[in-house]
Protein backbone atom coordinates (compact mmCIF):
# COMPACT_ATOMS: atom_id res chain seq x y z
CA UNK A 1 0.00 0.00 0.00
CA UNK A 2 2.84 2.43 0.74
CA UNK A 3 4.32 1.98 -2.74
CA UNK A 4 0.98 2.53 -4.44
CA UNK A 5 -0.34 5.55 -2.54
CA UNK A 6 2.35 7.37 -0.56
CA UNK A 7 5.15 9.67 -1.71
CA UNK A 8 5.86 11.19 1.72
CA UNK A 9 5.61 9.92 5.27
CA UNK A 10 5.93 12.22 8.27
CA UNK A 11 6.23 10.86 11.77
CA UNK A 12 5.54 13.13 14.72
CA UNK A 13 6.08 11.90 18.27
CA UNK A 14 5.62 13.20 21.79
CA UNK A 15 7.22 11.92 24.96
CA UNK A 16 8.48 8.38 24.63
CA UNK A 17 6.76 5.64 26.62
CA UNK A 18 8.18 2.84 24.50
CA UNK A 19 10.12 2.46 21.25
CA UNK A 20 8.96 4.25 18.11
CA UNK A 21 9.27 1.62 15.36
CA UNK A 22 8.48 -2.07 15.76
CA UNK A 23 8.16 -4.95 15.34
CA UNK A 24 6.46 -5.28 18.71
CA UNK A 25 4.87 -8.49 19.93
CA UNK A 26 1.06 -8.34 19.58
CA UNK A 27 1.15 -4.72 18.37
CA UNK A 28 2.70 -4.03 14.97
CA UNK A 29 4.27 -5.70 12.00
CA UNK A 30 7.85 -5.11 10.98
CA UNK A 31 7.68 -1.30 10.81
CA UNK A 32 11.37 -0.93 10.00
CA UNK A 33 11.18 -3.54 7.24
CA UNK A 34 8.07 -1.96 5.72
CA UNK A 35 9.62 1.53 5.66
CA UNK A 36 12.94 0.22 4.34
CA UNK A 37 11.17 -1.65 1.52
CA UNK A 38 9.18 1.50 0.66
CA UNK A 39 12.30 3.72 0.60
CA UNK A 40 14.29 1.22 -1.48
CA UNK A 41 11.50 0.66 -4.02
CA UNK A 42 11.98 4.04 -5.71
CA UNK A 43 14.27 5.06 -8.53
CA UNK A 44 17.68 6.03 -7.03
CA UNK A 45 18.34 8.59 -9.77
CA UNK A 46 15.03 10.38 -9.14
CA UNK A 47 14.02 9.87 -5.52
CA UNK A 48 10.25 9.60 -5.18
CA UNK A 49 9.93 8.52 -1.54
CA UNK A 50 10.50 11.07 1.20
CA UNK A 51 10.33 10.71 4.95
CA UNK A 52 10.58 13.12 7.85
CA UNK A 53 10.50 12.74 11.60
CA UNK A 54 10.12 15.23 14.38
CA UNK A 55 9.54 15.16 18.10
CA UNK A 56 10.93 14.44 21.50
CA UNK A 57 10.08 10.72 21.26
CA UNK A 58 12.11 10.29 18.09
CA UNK A 59 15.16 11.89 19.71
CA UNK A 60 14.75 9.82 22.88
CA UNK A 61 14.40 6.59 20.88
CA UNK A 62 17.63 7.23 18.99
CA UNK A 63 19.80 8.85 21.64
CA UNK A 64 23.01 6.88 21.84
CA UNK A 65 22.48 4.97 18.57
CA UNK A 66 25.74 4.32 16.78
CA UNK A 67 26.40 6.15 13.54
CA UNK A 68 25.49 3.99 10.56
CA UNK A 69 23.14 1.83 12.60
CA UNK A 70 20.96 -0.57 10.60
CA UNK A 71 17.83 0.82 12.24
CA UNK A 72 15.95 3.06 9.83
CA UNK A 73 14.92 5.39 12.63
CA UNK A 74 18.51 6.42 13.28
CA UNK A 75 19.17 7.86 9.83
- Contact between 31 and 46 under an 8 Å Cβ cutoff? The reply is no
- pLDDT at residue 65 in the model: 60
Domain segments of the chain as ranges: 1-11+30-38+49-63
Q: Is the separation of the CB atoms in 3 and 41 below 8 Å?
A: yes
- For 53, other C-beta atoms within 10 Å of its C-beta total 19
Secondary structure of residue 59 in the 3-state scheme: helix
3-state secondary structure of 72: helix
pTM: 0.61
Q: Note whether 61 and 19 are within 8 A (CB).
A: yes
pLDDT tens for the chain, 75 residues: list them: 788 888 888 888 877 666 777 777 787 778 888 888 888 887 777 777 888 888 887 777 766 665 555 554 444
Q: What pLDDT is recorded for position 73? A: 46
The pLDDT value recorded for residue 40 is 85
Amino acid sequence: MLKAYYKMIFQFSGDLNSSILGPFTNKTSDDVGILTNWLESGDPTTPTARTGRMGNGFVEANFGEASGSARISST
